[in-house]
Structure 1
């Protein structure tokens, strides 16, 4: 029997999942993250689930890991002392950035500072033209003199981004060679390796972000691999989940850690896509809420939407254009600064605020009793009766109700003239409204009608808030998988080995040289095949081709799938038709204008692993009544008061069972809160399906 392990390190909790290829083993666990040494929690968690399942460690075939470690290093500015080398005249491009203003009337808007300060941004007197010809040659002596300056300045990492290196990388590669010869102790990243695409600002920003965390990635992944063998007794290969939902080996991950920027959150979207296909829902809204943030992702036609840009460290309420942009393929998610640990406060105008700051794992919410003294969403849920203080994490961690009530009374209820329960519900509902608003905007921007999308709830806090969010959005139903609290880690196990490549060759569609384009695509496929084959061989390898397209004179592109095998003749009409279909789905119309291709993309993908889920629970009681573990007072939104409801044991609910809400359903890693009218059913895979009853 073959086993696979998924490990997701979040800001508050670390989730571990163990599954077998035949579905007979499905074991999972959740423990507090160890921020100072994240691999401590992984090793402990893996050992715990293997022991609980009485599994043979030699049977573990692979380990898949996702983490927000590198994102956090960028946000907290805990990376290497980083310098930048660029073409003369462009040293300030990464600071000038673009003209987007996230608050057009605010004259004091804040943006994240460049990862390389101005004094560590250096220029070389060289120039490559847009067609790849050399206007001014690179002088090796200038480069060597600059390297000596870097050493004197104590630089630990260098990002190299020369003008037009995406079309001719000769100068950039020579700079990399000299750095390796004269200063081998300095980490180096070249933009031509990471993002060979047009746009000097995005290339510069991306290469700086990559090299800034490169040493952290190399050290962390090496240490994790060694500890997995020496302490956990696991000799299976270690794979890392990338931001676009594919896997890579640790060598590739260590060289390109920027591709792991959304490594952790993507698991929930992958799980939603897998379960949606299983249950016959190709279109679904994935909703993942953890201890620090919540994420929403549109699953369309069974696949998460992919974008080519992402922002790290957004400065103002997670607003678009307020962060540090990087150009990497990433599952398109909207992130909201609302999680179980999000801090609630009353501002100077007597308004209740929730987030975006979080109590994290240390000290955590006040009810954890670990020194936290700020009211959080988790404290509010405890006061509302949604959490059992004696069954948090399956009873392994006790929560202090009085401590939560007192901190809400003192810091929220008294200043607003409310009771502790009213204040707690205000916190809970404001969190719901914030997440629903962000999800609505996200789907509208993608041309989707959210009211037709079922919600799929994952994350430790997601099942507590999904009913409220779905009610606001008027979604028809909510799905809660068994093990929702660790579903990101399970989603990792549905990901295939993959890599994606891009090449910018801006051309108007009517002027494209199709033979040249065909050669470019074949070169990209060959390179992608080499990368993927290092991990899994080239068996069952599939390729997808995309074009970044726009109308002439537009400033942004849309990603267009290109289903063409033969580029030896003109395919203008077919490509234009595909472009207009995508454009219409987003904007609702097309334009009477010529189109152009800015970049070509190739995605190489290995076979998607099968994830077998048990369709029944042997020995489970056949009545709903036997699954009732008691009754508890919870706050009911429809009547705005506390009322007793049934509390169900998730593990004892048999497939085919139905009951009515309001109700609470408890499992070790999460709690499903249905605090209003709904019909609840259990499907053959033990998923809860809640059909909402919307008023009006």
Structure 2
């Protein structure tokens, strides 16, 4: 993307990961430090100060900064956004509560639905109306607009969402209200549905706009503060932000539509899985990223993560579809499981061992961190089982307390179950692996895929430690563990391209499309995309464009996404477009409906710039000295032997290309640990990545 140093920063729930790429010397430096939940930017600056002093890199040499954060997601879940009002068309005030009238759990009598982010007293109706075709039915009354906005401001509203009926077709009324309010209340954050989510679907468009308004003031303050602190530190390069769709954009752009940052960090992890899978010449990959709070998995075919054009956030029941806010934004299609190193183990009311989904996070953290935590976690179990080295966690900068881990497991798991500590630790470890494997098995089956055809790319601080046992449960034969796996998401940031996804809903039957209007629609989207990415320099001007359409059979309520050709569209293409739709429909549902009319609902454009070309075979990781390949032996628990067994421990930084290591074995690096079972054999490639093959998986 640029010459000089590129700095990637990924703030997670437990740790903040950083990577620094010297584009001239082809060197990578990596760093990991604890997240500071109360002020995430403080943890970043503290980590940068310590790290840059150690590696002796002047901050002013950083040319570009790319950032991923969980701040937006956390503010939604914890309800820490701004007081938000909604201005909408007369008769639509209660759409946030009416929704689609769906029940996400048919058998739950006391069903809990997500409470609207804009309470009813902060939702106001205006007498205005557009027809479905965009013609004005009821003109907007400017005086009413000013009165309603003034009333909301007096109640303490700090951010406004504006969502008028059919504004996705004609946004004239929304734009008129913007001009009025900007003149009356300069600086008041405004979110227009026609800019945030210009799609059909009144409920989803409204929720997306309200969520954007809710987090916008926080995002603007946070990104502005982070940029000022980085500049004060000496890092004066442009700040780019990772989006949920797997691309980056300028911080100013992200601050206007922060709803697109909700899956920022997980998207970087998926890109890292795709990148390392490509290095290992693996075409079908499960990108598995397990950190301190959650684990994520993403299916990647032919190097491309699947994109979903809508998803849910802030679910009442975290792992139940339909219990959150539906958002009309593009995002990498991810499976999320409440399984991380900090996941807490407990005995439930039926006397059964449960693990997660709640996490100890960074504060107080697992018991072994010695920061006040007393509940047993997955990390505590991994330490007791011998998988983690208490003297080499984070490269020895953070000692782990084995006695505290044993005490937590003994008091809260082993004694209540009448078992010893080691068996309790294995129970925690095995249950969390089974939870992840089961969730992945269902997710893959829903996609119509076979897990045995895939390679797991294990990243995150805990990913390489748990990947082997998960692969066993899924009968997967190959695992790829990248070097610096514990900070791999930040490497995903480095290779992420500038990206923008734009959309415009307009309903046409394929055989009745106004081709001139459709071509103009795509021309407008392309011009907007170029304008958005132009500030990102050369990387944002050399664009690869893709077109898609949401289509369906007339009369259906759901759509499928179909690729469209570039260039001028015309009537001669309608048969090809219909055939493309029916081919996708047949693949998804096993049949098509010949003779039924097809219509296009929403028209999409994706513009990709040029990401950083990163050659890991040439890049050198500078975070550790190599030393001897084998560090000695350590007793670890092997379920095959049902006992602790001494196994060799290897220094990953000292492994040479072509080396083979037979399991069982432990391979340590600063940010993560690879645990290889008895049936595994590891091979090191030119880039230092380890491919583990399981016999008879």
Q: Normalized against structure 2, the TM-score is what?
A: 0.96
Q: Does 1:210 align with 2:212?
A: yes
Q: How big is the shift at 1:22? A: 4.5
Larger CA deviation: 569-578 vs 296-305: 569-578
Measure, in 1, the Cα distance between the counterparts of 2:621 and 2:20: 19
Measure, in 1, the Cα distance between the counterparts of 2:588 and 2:694: 28
Measure, in 1, the Cα distance between the counterparts of 2:343 and 2:432: 9
- Matched with 2:72 is 70
**Structure-2 change in CA distance of 1:360 and 1:267 (3 Å):** same
Q: Does 1:323 align with 2:324?
A: yes
Q: How big is the shift at 1:413? A: 1.4
**Structure-2 change in CA distance of 1:204 and 1:386 (3 Å):** same
- Matched with 2:194 is 192
Question: 1:639 pairs with 637, 641, 645, which one?
Answer: 641
- Matched with 2:608 is 605
Cα shift readout 1:365-398 (whole Å, capped 9, x = no counterpart):
1111111111111111111111111111111111
Q: Is the 8 A contact 1:576 1:595 kept in 2?
A: yes
Q: Is the 8 A contact 1:544 1:603 kept in 2?
A: yes
Q: How big is the shift at 1:53? A: 3.6
Q: How big is the shift at 1:415? A: 1.7
Q: Does 1:549 align with 2:529?
A: no
Cα shift readout 1:49-108 (whole Å, capped 9, x = no counterpart):
434443343432211000000110011001111111111111111112224333211112
Measure, in 2, the Cα distance between the counterparts of 1:550 and 1:51: 58
Q: Normalized against structure 1, the TM-score is what?
A: 0.96
Q: Does 1:682 align with 2:684?
A: yes
- Matched with 1:313 is 314
Cα shift readout 1:462-520 (whole Å, capped 9, x = no counterpart):
11111111111111200000000000011001011111100001222222222321121
Larger CA deviation: 434-443 vs 218-227: 434-443
**Structure-2 change in CA distance of 1:649 and 1:70 (3 Å):** same
**Structure-2 change in CA distance of 1:229 and 1:371 (3 Å):** same
Q: Does 1:369 align with 2:376?
A: no
Q: State the SS of the aligned residue for 2:265.
A: coil
Measure, in 2, the Cα distance between the counterparts of 1:482 and 1:340: 19
State how 1:22-61 maps to structure 2 within 5 Å. 22=24, 24-61=26-63
Q: State the SS of the aligned residue for 1:370.
A: coil
Measure, in 1, the Cα distance between the counterparts of 2:580 and 2:83: 45
- Matched with 1:344 is 345
Measure, in 2, the Cα distance between the counterparts of 1:120 and 1:114: 10
- Matched with 1:575 is 577
Q: State the SS of the aligned residue for 1:281.
A: coil
Measure, in 1, the Cα distance between the counterparts of 2:512 and 2:480: 49
Q: Is the 8 A contact 1:445 1:586 kept in 2?
A: no
Q: Is the 8 A contact 2:29 2:621 kept in 1?
A: no
- Matched with 1:12 is 14
- Matched with 1:595 is 598
Measure, in 1, the Cα distance between the counterparts of 2:184 and 2:566: 46
Unpaired runs of at least 5, structure 1: none
Q: State the SS of the aligned residue for 1:29.
A: strand
Q: Is the 8 A contact 2:128 2:139 kept in 1?
A: yes
Q: Is the 8 A contact 2:661 2:681 kept in 1?
A: yes
Question: 1:222 pairs with 221, 224, 227, which one?
Answer: 224
- Matched with 1:402 is 403
Q: Is the 8 A contact 2:392 2:670 kept in 1?
A: yes
Q: Is the 8 A contact 2:27 2:620 kept in 1?
A: no
State how 1:111-130 maps to structure 2 within 5 Å. 111-130=113-132
Q: Does 1:417 align with 2:418?
A: yes
Measure, in 1, the Cα distance between the counterparts of 2:121 and 2:562: 41
Q: Is the 8 A contact 2:199 2:328 kept in 1?
A: no
**Structure-2 change in CA distance of 1:424 and 1:588 (3 Å):** farther
- Matched with 1:510 is 511
- Matched with 1:262 is 263
Measure, in 2, the Cα distance between the counterparts of 1:56 and 1:85: 49
Q: State the SS of the aligned residue for 1:571.
A: helix
Cα shift readout 1:339-367 (whole Å, capped 9, x = no counterpart):
11111111111122111111111000111
Q: How big is the shift at 1:23? A: 5.7
Q: Is the 8 A contact 1:245 1:270 kept in 2?
A: yes
Q: Is the 8 A contact 1:243 1:259 kept in 2?
A: yes
Measure, in 2, the Cα distance between the counterparts of 1:398 and 1:5: 27
Q: State the SS of the aligned residue for 1:665.
A: strand
Measure, in 2, the Cα distance between the counterparts of 1:96 and 1:690: 51
Q: State the SS of the aligned residue for 2:663.
A: strand
Q: Does 1:240 align with 2:215?
A: no
Q: Is the 8 A contact 1:536 1:606 kept in 2?
A: no
State how 1:451-466 maps to structure 2 within 5 Å. 451-466=452-467
- Matched with 1:177 is 179
**Structure-2 change in CA distance of 1:39 and 1:616 (3 Å):** closer
Q: Is the 8 A contact 2:27 2:619 kept in 1?
A: no
Q: Is the 8 A contact 2:286 2:457 kept in 1?
A: yes
- Matched with 2:442 is 441
